[in-house]
Amino acid sequence: MADETSSAEAGGKTKLKRVMGPGLLLLFIVGDVLGTGIYALTGKVADEVGGIVWLPFLVAFVLAAVTACSYLELVTKYPRAAGAALYTHKAFGIHFVTFLVAFAVMSSGITSAATASRAFAENFGESTGMGTGAFGVTAVSLTFIALIAAVNVRGVGESVKMNVAFTCVELTGLVIIILIGAWALAGGQGDFGRAFDFSQAGDKGLFWPVIAATTLAFFAMVGFEDSVNMAEESKNPSRIFPKVLLGGLLITGVIYLLVSITAIALVDAEKLSEGATPLLKVVEAGAPWFPISVFGVITMCAVANSALINMLMASRLLYGMAEERVLPKAFGVVLSGRQTPWIAILFTTALAAGLVTFVGAVPALGGTTALLLLAVFAVVNVAVLVLRKDSVDHDHFTAPAGLPYAGAASCAFFVGPWTGRDPVQYLIAGILIAIGMVLWTGTVFYMKSNKTAPPGGDGMSDLVQ
């Protein structure tokens, strides 16, 4: 294949402003990965594996790191702001496959935001002592989603500022948990031996419980893939991305391991798995003098950050697909004055609200997010191998030999029902993708009837000619 990549792709021409150096990019990655997963799902992971709650997080970290290497090869080779959809299109050139990947990524953002909204509501009820009941949790969740939409409509500037503030808060919360663990260890409190008692897996053995728990724990590691969409706003992306992305994953991985070990040392698995506020239980056990309401606010900021980032991503991705005429052009309508895609924001907010209302359960929503992204990651790992024959005129990262194969196989494995994944996750994912296919099919028929095609021969031109 002819070399079509110019020096511009190595960090030159772009319509966007290159403002992100290594420091800001690292903060973005750490803030995107940290959040709802560790705050809300630690107890559910413990319910699967007992005291070795840290092991599924470690497996999830390795799985994420392997796939991150494939993303690094592609983002340093093609430093553009389109992520998995771009890589899929370059590798396979099938517009429908590209659409499916893009819509799956968008749907993962919506399910992640719905997960965060439920976790926000449950932590609100627990930390304020008000309790909210099933109806109250849903009402708080919907109000929270509406507030996120309002911030999103107001503009990306406000969203980015809130992201930086929330990132600092959520990181502080996890550091507090780690310090509580160190304090407890020094004072002889807790039982750190529980974290290394592999016998707690029971008669089921160790392998399958860890696999089942990893399908949940992986939700805590997602977010790193969003960073490739910042390639056109990063300074010299082909040079800085490898160290920053792998460094960000390592930082979050270490934090998660320390937090999960601390959690199980201070609270036994049975109690930790009760309810949806596991880290609040850790604070109560290890530092009863610490104001629980303060940590509740920290937790709510952490899950709010996850929701904000994911709803921002989902609405902009929907807008982008409308601009390419892959979805109805209405999704590309921008609010006058604010310059935000308000119809795309309302649509993604409505989907998230529907999930909150009719699905509700945090593990089901978080597991669906991981399911969608694991399927996308499998495709990206294959795309790396296909695009190895495509040379570019600048230096780029190359994933170590064999890693893309391992990434594709492992991600495909974790998508399967043999992992013990809740069947409702496949149902949720299927409904979301079906909604996308209906929109896509309607757009195809509209364009055929009007004999129109996307500019430049992109998008769905092959289908409408």
Chain centroid offset of residue 254 CA: 18
**How many domains would you assign to the chain?**
1
pLDDT at 408: 96
Quick check: is 451 in a domain? no
Quick check: is 370 in a domain? yes
Domain carrying residue 26: 18-317+341-425
pLDDT at 16: 45
CATH number (domain holding residue 254): 1.20.1740.10
Task: State the Cα angle at 260 between 257 and 262, rounded to 5°.
Answer: 105
pLDDT at 452: 60
Quick check: is 199 in a domain? yes
Per-residue pLDDT of the chain (465 residues; tens, 9 = 90+): 434 444 444 555 554 456 667 887 887 788 778 877 788 788 889 988 988 999 999 999 999 999 999 999 998 898 876 678 889 988 998 888 888 998 999 899 899 888 888 888 887 877 666 656 777 888 888 999 999 888 888 766 666 677 778 888 888 989 999 999 888 888 888 888 888 888 765 556 788 899 999 998 998 888 888 777 667 667 787 788 889 999 999 999 999 999 999 999 999 988 998 877 788 899 988 888 888 888 888 888 888 888 888 888 788 788 877 777 777 888 888 877 767 788 989 999 999 999 988 886 777 888 899 999 999 999 999 999 999 988 888 888 999 989 999 999 999 999 999 998 889 999 999 999 999 899 888 888 877 777 665 544 444 444 333
Instruction: Give the predicted TM-score (pTM) of the model.
Output: 0.85
Count Cβ atoms below 10 Å from residue 154 Cβ, excluding itself. Answer: 13
Task: Collapse the DSSP code of 174 into the 3-class scheme (helix H, G, I; strand E, B; otherwise coil) and give the result.
Answer: helix
pLDDT at 202: 54
End-to-end CA distance of the chain: 25
Quick check: is 239 in a domain? yes
State residue 20 phi and psi, 5-degree precision.
-95, 110
Quick check: is 52 in a domain? yes
Residue 65, CA atoms < 13 Å, CB-side half-sphere: 17
Task: Return the HEC string of 95-147.
Answer: HHHHHHHHHHHHHHHHHHHHHHHHHHHHHHHHHHCCCCHHHHHHHHHHHHHHH
pLDDT at 465: 37
> Are residues 54 and 196 in contact, defined by beta-carbon separation less than 8 angstroms?
no
Quick check: is 439 in a domain? no
Instruction: Compute the distance between CA of residue 422 and CA of residue 273 in angstroms, rounded to an integer.
Output: 17
User: Which whole-number Å values give the CA distances from 459 to 86, 153, 324, 325, in the listed order?
Assistant: 11, 26, 5, 6
Instruction: Compute the distance between CA of residue 44 and CA of residue 40 in angstroms, rounded to an integer.
Output: 8
Instruction: Compute the distance between CA of residue 307 and CA of residue 34 in angstroms, rounded to an integer.
Output: 12
Quick check: is 384 in a domain? yes
Structure tokens at 390: 């495509």
> Are residues 55 and 206 in contact, defined by beta-carbon separation less than 8 angstroms?
no
Q: Indicate the angle between helix axes 36-49 and 54-77, nearest 10 degrees.
A: 130
Quick check: is 44 in a domain? yes
> Are residues 15 and 231 in contact, defined by beta-carbon separation less than 8 angstroms?
no
